[in-house]
Amino acid sequence: MANIIGAVTTSHIPAIANAMANKAEDTPYWKPFFDGYPPVRKWLNEKKPDVIVLFYNDHGLEFFIDKKPTFAIGVADEYHNSDEGWGIATIPPVTGESELSWHIANSLVDDGFDMTICQEMKVDHGLTVPLSLMWPGNNYGHVKVIPVCINCEQYPMPQPWRCFELGKAIGKAIESFDSDMTVAIFGTGGLSHQLDGEAAGTLNRKFDLECMDKLVTNPEELTKYSNLDLVKIGGAQTVELNMWIAMRGVLRGKVTELHRNYHAPISNTGAGLLLLEHEMPK
């Protein structure tokens, strides 16, 4: 069986890509954010996971509202980035892992998750910024990535409990894959933030820190929130917490927090970073 060795959460906002492109990591604004990353990079470079299952949301690059999948999974050998209308530099292709992807897709549909299965999928900053952050200089070519996309843009959106269940089903699928490969899980986006409306600029530091605690020790607590609760507590885009919750659903063994960082604001968001090590039950 494939071995799930750990997980990482990170923000994925476009401003991070611009800061890296402009070499602004050591400026007073960005330093408290970027200083969080070296221990996570070190862990990834030491543990060398073969595959990353990466939860993110598409911000209107691959999916338009003509057809909006609730849950989508990439099953390609390669994924491409593209212009998002923002002027963020595009990055080199991302390597896929089609065999495990298809295995997960089959298992998920059998388990009642009606995935949109994508043989072609443009990946936006939601997926590429975390990879650039973990492997600076875009040195992520050796890592195989399986994109799992959760709708956070158009209601109805899957609720936190459902995203947690999706994570559990993905964990089960990975564990049933006949291979000795190692897998790490990335939950991206969040935490509290609101981009739109008169309430733009909403942030909730206390809630963000509580979420990070609960994510480690008691993730079931987070599944009691509805998406509307998240909007009220942390702002409209706090629904992106669902990607972190899905990540946590994948881990069913012993979870140890190795590292964390939290800094707010980064652009308009509370930016949380967690590194969790995962030991599979015997």
The one segment of 3-11, 82-90, 107-115, 141-149 that binds another protein by CB under 8 A: 82-90
Does residue number 268 form part of the binding site for another protein (CB under 8 A)?
yes
Please say which residue, 5 or 13, places its beta carbon nearer to another protein.
Answer: 13
Q: How far is the CB of 45 from another protein (least distance, A)?
A: 30
Clarify whether 259 is annotated catalytic: no
Contacts of 166 (CB under 8 A, 6+ apart): 71, 108, 113, 148, 150, 158, 246, 249
Q: How far is the CB of 206 from another protein (least distance, A)?
A: 6
The tokens of 251 are what? 């881990």
Does residue number 96 form part of the binding site for another protein (CB under 8 A)?
no
One-letter amino acid for residue 103 of the chain: H
CA 182, 33, 60, 137: dihedral to nearest 10 degrees?
-60
The tokens of 124 are what? 């936006």
Q: How far is the CB of 85 from another protein (least distance, A)?
A: 4
Q: How far is the CB of 228 from another protein (least distance, A)?
A: 7
Does residue number 263 form part of the binding site for another protein (CB under 8 A)?
yes
Please say which residue, 148 or 203, places its beta carbon nearer to another protein.
Answer: 203
Is the CB of residue 128 less than 8 Å from the CB of residue 91?
yes
Is the CB of residue 77 less than 8 Å from the CB of residue 69?
no
Selected from 24, 181, 195, 255, the binder of another protein by CB under 8 A is 195
Please say which residue, 89 or 258, places its beta carbon nearer to another protein.
Answer: 89
Does residue number 236 form part of the binding site for another protein (CB under 8 A)?
yes
Q: Angle at CA 146, nearest 5°, toward 274 and 116?
A: 115
State which of positions 20-79 bind another protein (CB under 8 A): 59-61, 64-66
**Backbone dihedral angles phi then psi of residue 49, each to the nearest 5 degrees:** -60, 140
Site size toward another protein, by CB under 8 A: 42
How far is 138 from 43, CA to CA, in rounded Å? 17
The tokens of 154 are what? 């158009």
Q: How far is the CB of 76 from another protein (least distance, A)?
A: 20
| Chain centre to alpha carbon of residue 81 | 16
**Backbone dihedral angles phi then psi of residue 216, each to the nearest 5 degrees:** -80, -50
Is the CB of residue 7 less than 8 Å from the CB of residue 118?
no
Spot the catalytic one: 12, 59, 103, 193: 193
Does residue number 226 form part of the binding site for another protein (CB under 8 A)?
no
Selected from 1, 89, 228, 258, the binder of another protein by CB under 8 A is 228
Clarify whether 263 is annotated catalytic: no
Note the residues at the interface with another protein (CB under 8 A).
Answer: 13, 15, 59-61, 64-66, 82-87, 153-156, 194-206, 228, 231-232, 235-236, 263-265, 267-268, 270
